[in-house]
């Protein structure tokens, strides 16, 4: 089975979503994201997937990554750029509260703050910032990981992707230059509404325009080990004034807000257009179903007429059969009556009747019928018949005597 699983595990706002998106495109991987390892359904992961997490390399997490054959990709970014990006992002997205499971605090304290505010400076030098910056630091020092520097990725996107693939031993399935061209900040922002806030400025070294030299050194002093391990320096703009820094922040913040508002409006228009397209498709589907129902009703109506005709035919056949049954019953009764009459006749009369044909029997039946209707007439006829039989027998005796 062709298995390739990557885990992008770094400090938040280091370019994780951007790198994950490009690797997923280049290698054709299913991409996933989670805040906690427990949120990942490890047993049902695709064989080719890329996972994004902000989590420290503790023993349990490393064991999961090894068990499910993940290669780790870690990003570094200048700590001051990361902290400024966290400040900007946290103004719009409350998911920052779930970073590291809320370890060492959260970002509520910098709501509405600016880089030069005491609220931000306290946050940037405090335990929460130290915990978040520590994710990339600890993974950067781990063995068998693919290290990517954010500043180099911005400078030479396709080249850095090629180097990462070489380190991972993976082959590109799409041209690197094509993927890099479609992953610019402008292109990334139109992917979804969430990406409007994920992609803020994407400019390395921007912290030098928002922090004066004293404030920058105050933050860097709190994270000397981070800068040393990741290879960054603290080189602020010595000429920047507090007023200039504050004005630049307000200008960037207003521009970002305006861009995001336009992005939301564009997303709403696109959603509305998709909604109307869905409605049109649904109407078309309803029309098709309606026509099918009409046709089905017509067919069923024809079927009902056929069934009704067949039922009427069967009913007529039943009436005919019933009439035939009645006729047969009557004939059986007549035959039984004749059988009883024959049973009462002596053998000599039966022999005489045996010589009679069908016409004679028919005549006898008619005589029987009229004798029932006119009994006195029948009695007279019977007397004549008996007299005739007696006379015949007497004539026979006289003739025989001669």
Residues 111-158 pLDDT 10s: 989 999 999 999 999 999 999 999 999 999 999 999 999 999 999 999
Report pLDDT for 295.
80
Kindly tell me if the per-residue pLDDT of 368 is higher than 70. no
Is 90:198 a contact under the CB 8 Å cutoff? no
Report pLDDT for 266.
58
HSE, CB side, 13 Å, CA atoms: give it for residue 226: 25
**What does residue 200 show for φ and ψ, rounded to 5 degrees?**
-90, -80
Q: Is 105 helix (H, G, I), strand (E, B) or coil?
A: coil
Report pLDDT for 370.
60
**What does residue 284 show for φ and ψ, rounded to 5 degrees?**
-60, -40
Question: What percent of the chain is predicted at pLDDT more than 70?
Answer: 77
Kindly tell me if the per-residue pLDDT of 352 is higher than 60. no
Select from 75, 86, 71 the least CA-distant residue to 120.
86
Q: Is the dihedral of CA 249, 250, 252, 253 positive or negative?
A: positive
Distances (CA, A) of 374 to 368, 371, 377, 380: 10, 5, 5, 10
Question: Of the given ranges (65-69, 154-158, 218-222, 338-342), which has the lowest mean pLDDT?
Answer: 338-342
Report pLDDT for 94.
84
**Cα dihedral value 275, 91, 252, 222, nearest 10:** -140
Is 52:20 a contact under the CB 8 Å cutoff? yes
Report how far residue 336's alpha carbon sits from residue 155's, in angstroms, rounded to the nearest whole number.
119
Distance of CA 89 to the CA centre of its chain: 33
Give the range with max mean pLDDT: 61-75, 177-191, 384-398. Answer: 61-75
Report pLDDT for 313.
85
Query: What pLDDT, in 10s, does the model give residues 246-271?
Result: 998 888 787 766 665 655 555 556 66
Higher pLDDT, 314 or 48: 48
pLDDT category of residue 37 using cuts at 50, 70 and 90 = very high
Kindly tell me if the per-residue pLDDT of 279 is higher than 60. yes
Kindly tell me if the per-residue pLDDT of 97 is higher than 70. yes
Q: Where are the beta strands (DSSP E) in 110-268?
A: 145-149
Report how far residue 304's alpha carbon sits from residue 181's, in angstroms, rounded to the nearest whole number.
66
Kindly tell me if the per-residue pLDDT of 298 is higher than 60. yes
263-293 residues labelled b (16+ CB within 10 A) or e (exposed)? beeebeeeeeeeeeeeeeeeeeeeeeeeeee
Q: Which one-letter DSSP state was computed for residue 31?
A: E
Q: Which one-letter DSSP state was computed for residue 55?
A: -
Report pLDDT for 373.
63
Report pLDDT for 197.
59
Kindly tell me if the per-residue pLDDT of 401 is higher than 90. no
Report how far residue 36's alpha carbon sits from residue 40's, in angstroms, rounded to the nearest whole number.
7
Report how far residue 269's alpha carbon sits from residue 354's, in angstroms, rounded to the nearest whole number.
109
């Amino acid at each position: 089975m062709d298995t390739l699983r990557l885990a992008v595990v770094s400090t938040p706002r280091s370019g994780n979503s951007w790198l994950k998106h490009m690797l997923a495109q280049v290698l054709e991987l299913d991409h996933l994201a989670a805040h906690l390892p427990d949120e990942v359904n490890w047993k049902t992961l695709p064989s080719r997937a890329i996972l994004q997490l902000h989590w420290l390399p503790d023993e349990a997490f490393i064991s999961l990554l090894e068990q499910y054959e993940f290669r780790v990709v870690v990003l570094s970014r200048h700590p001051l750029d990361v902290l400024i990006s966290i400040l900007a992002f946290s103004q719009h997205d409350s998911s920052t509260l779930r970073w590291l499971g809320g370890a060492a605090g959260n970002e509520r304290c910098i709501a509405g703050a600016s880089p030069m505010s005491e609220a931000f400076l306290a946050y940037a030098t405090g335990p929460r910032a130290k915990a978040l910056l520590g994710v990339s630091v600890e993974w950067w020092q781990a063995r068998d990981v693919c290290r990517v520097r954010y500043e180099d990725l911005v400078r030479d996107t396709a080249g850095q992707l090629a180097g990462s693939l070489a380190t991972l031993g993976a082959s590109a399935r799409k041209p690197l230059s094509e993927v890099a061209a479609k992953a610019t900040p402008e292109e990334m922002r139109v992917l979804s509404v969430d990406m409007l806030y994920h992609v803020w400025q994407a400019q390395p070294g921007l912290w030098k325009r928002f922090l004066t030299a004293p404030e920058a050194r105050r933050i860097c002093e709190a994270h000397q080990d981070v800068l040393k391990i990741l290879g960054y320096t603290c080189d602020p703009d010595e000429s920047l004034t507090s007023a200039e820094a504050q004005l630049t922040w307000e200008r960037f913040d207003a521009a970002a807000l305006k861009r995001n508002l336009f992005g939301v409006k564009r997303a709403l228009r696109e959603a509305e257009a998709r909604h109307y397209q869905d409605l049109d498709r649904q109407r078309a589907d309803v029309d098709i179903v309606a026509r099918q129902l009409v046709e089905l009703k017509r067919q069923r109506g024809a079927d009902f007429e056929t069934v009704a005709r067949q039922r009427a035919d069967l009913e007529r056949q039943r009436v005919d059969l019933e009439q035939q049954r009645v006729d047969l019953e009557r004939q059986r009764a007549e035959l039984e009556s004749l059988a009883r009459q024959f049973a009462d006749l002596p053998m000599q009369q039966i022999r005489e009747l045996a010589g009679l044909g069908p016409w004679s029997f028919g005549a006898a039946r008619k005589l029987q019928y009229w004798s029932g209707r006119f009994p006195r007439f029948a009695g007279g006829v019977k007397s004549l018949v008996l007299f005739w039989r007696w006379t015949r027998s007497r004539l026979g005796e006289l003739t025989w005597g001669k």
